[in-house]
Structure 1
């Protein structure tokens, strides 16, 4: 069971609609609370121990970024997934730097959101194809020397695929994939998927 607390900033869904959407998509999602404002989010999380905080917002504006920063400090074990109407490059890079585990455009279909929730709950980082454009635009750092095989793996990671799914696509074993991931993280000076994707974004690799 994936335990979710959500904040809906008056975007395309009403609060009741958001709760209903998640329940209709999967019976494996428990919606613990749905709030309207950033200042209600911390109270909703306190005492409920959710797995994921889903923030459905209009833009990656300073208020959102500050809310993400506060949430990372106050509840570091809670993963954060953003569903955003308008995604800009600077905002996307900043929220990924802060440790957001999921970034989706608001036009994502419900089953795509469910897949994202499942992947984030499993510890992966997921960026939807629509959101990846702004994130991986305008390189701002040096370009690491990745091989073609390493780039392919990195691009599959950016799609939010699990290790077993990537291994199947590449026709290699999961243990081989893990060995292949180590030099990628090393070359990107990253410790995990989130920091690897952020470094790749800065370098314009994807």
Structure 2
């Protein structure tokens, strides 16, 4: 049998933290190994407990979730730990910074329990999770900020079809939604996504979204 996914929950609101812990802990394939209320403790516990995923709030005392994410999952971190950020719409900019810090995905705090569980399982597989409504609102809002002048969309080493898929990823569509839009099979879309990530040397769909906006391929 596959070992349960080990989850660390970090949120400074005790009620939310307890709710997440209860929901996650009730699943046979998930195991809550710890919980805490600030980013510094999250880092200490992550190093001690070695969870597979940290469910991370953004605004917290001592050390915020953005910096904690950077220290746990950022570029150059040895043995990085996957981070799933949870936030609310009025923290858009913070979530964008967390994405750049290395988060593998983000969800809204008012998402239904099933969506939270799906998010944890998705990130655990090595995939990224982008809530479409957050992607459109958040990345679109800050697109100008993340598009450096030196990036040239003409240099993108993708085929026309791969560019189509990349733009739809940037719109926050899932593989099944992309398949329906382009009239392709989900398996074919999965292959295209894999090729895009490989060609562009990107870690996951989150980085693909940032890349699409940086190069001006999405707007």
Identify the TM-score tier after normalising by the shorter chain: 0.7 to 0.9
Q: Secondary structure of 2:211's match?
A: helix
Q: How far off its partner does 1:54 sit? A: 0.5
The structure whose RCO (Cα within 8 Å, separation 6+) is larger is 1
In structure 2, the residue matched to 1:134 is 138
Aligned with 1:144 (options 149, 153, 158) = 153
TM-score, structure 1 as length reference: 0.76
Q: How far off its partner does 1:184 sit? A: 7.1
Aligned with 2:211 (options 195, 199, 206) = 199
CA contact (8 A) 2:56 2:84 kept: yes
1:160–1:50 distance in 2 versus 1, CA, 3 Å = farther
1:154–1:114 distance in 2 versus 1, CA, 3 Å = farther
Structure having the larger proportion of residues in strand: 1
Runs of 4+ in 1 over 6 A off after TM superposition: none
Aligned mates of 1:129, 1:179 — CA distance in 2: 19
Q: Secondary structure of 1:27's match?
A: coil
1:96–1:143 distance in 2 versus 1, CA, 3 Å = farther
Aligned mates of 1:167, 1:155 — CA distance in 2: 7
TM-score, structure 2 as length reference: 0.72
Mind listing any 5+ residue stretches in structure 2 that lack a counterpart?
none
Q: How far off its partner does 1:92 sit? A: 3.3
Aligned length: 197
Aligned mates of 1:176, 1:104 — CA distance in 2: 23
Aligned with 2:168 (options 150, 155, 160) = 155
Mind listing any 5+ residue stretches in structure 1 that lack a counterpart?
none
CA contact (8 A) 2:179 2:189 kept: no
Query: CA RMSD of the aligned region, Å?
Result: 3.3
CA contact (8 A) 2:133 2:172 kept: no
Aligned mates of 2:193, 2:58 — CA distance in 1: 36
Instruction: Summarize deviations over 1:115-160 as a string: whole Å, max 9, x none.
Output: 1111101111111123211123243225736747633454247647
